[in-house]
Amino acid sequence: MTAAGPDPSTPLQGRPIRSFVLRQGRLTPSQERAFEQHWARYGLEPAGTPRDFDAVFGRQADRVVEIGFGNGQALHFASSNEPQRDFIGIEVHRPGVGRLLNALAEDGADNVRVYNHDAVEVLERDITDASLAEIRIWFPDPWHKKRHSKRRLIQPAFARLLARKLAPGGLLHLATDWEPYAEHMWDVLDALPEFENRAGERGYFPRPSWRPETHFERRGLRLGHGVWDLLYLRRHDP
């Protein structure tokens, strides 16, 4: 996962911000074919205006956005384990998108759509305010060095954008294997009146059943890191 955050000292409007640092890998032949054969079914190009997702999915359902889905393992898992919900994945890394497209096509899944684009632009322009049941951001780039901490995805301006897109009572689910980043997330989110930590102030949960153990998590555990799942509710009346 290569997501990085905007500088919270600069307003969201009027500047070309990005939610990532692009580190593209080379597509395999299979991933190239995935774009050729399956993008028309699963892919979404940015519309630039609020999109009618009832029309996209052909039904009304709870909508979940996963930002920075990497190789798509968790999103693929969710598509079959939560069939009653619709999922919108946002990822800039094309090899990961190609891998997910192949997995979805093999299953015949129809409750997932994918953007290969910057998450900030998609959220701001394509997603209607107060329309999401959940937003998932699992193992974003922790930017370990202190001088790089402002590049982290979870910053006050971005968190306020997430709050705006969640419906009242909606869930923001974050996960990290880097304790300083967990502490940073607490600092940012506990300071915002829009969010309430379900585990109490600076609290976290064991990995919930709907989140599969990821490659990043296993790597972190091998390195002796802990894993922190932070679950925040969007307050009805902040």
Domain ranges for the chain = 29-234
CB contact at 8 A, 159 and 196: no
DSSP H helical segments within 108-236, as ranges?
119-126, 156-165, 179-190, 215-222
- Is there a catalytic annotation at residue 7? no
How far apart (Å, rounded) are the C-alpha atoms in residues 25 and 22? 10
Query: Which residue is it, tokens 């079914």?
Result: 41
DSSP H helical segments within the chain, as ranges?
29-42, 53-57, 73-81, 94-107, 119-126, 156-165, 179-190, 215-222
Domain 29-234, what architecture?
A: 3-Layer(aba) Sandwich (3.40)
How far apart (Å, rounded) are the C-alpha atoms in residues 46 and 139? 24
Structure tokens at 25: 């890998």
DSSP designation for 139:
S
Residue 220: the pLDDT is 74
CB contact at 8 A, 134 and 62: yes
Structure tokens at 216: 């990043």
Identify the active-site residue in 86, 126, 141, 177: 141
Residue 12: the pLDDT is 43
Torsion over CA: 191, 196, 198, 199 (sign): positive
- At 21-67, the pLDDT tens digits run 445 568 999 999 999 999 999 999 999 999 999 999 999 999 999 99
- At 89-131, the pLDDT tens digits run 999 999 999 999 999 999 999 999 999 999 999 999 999 999 9
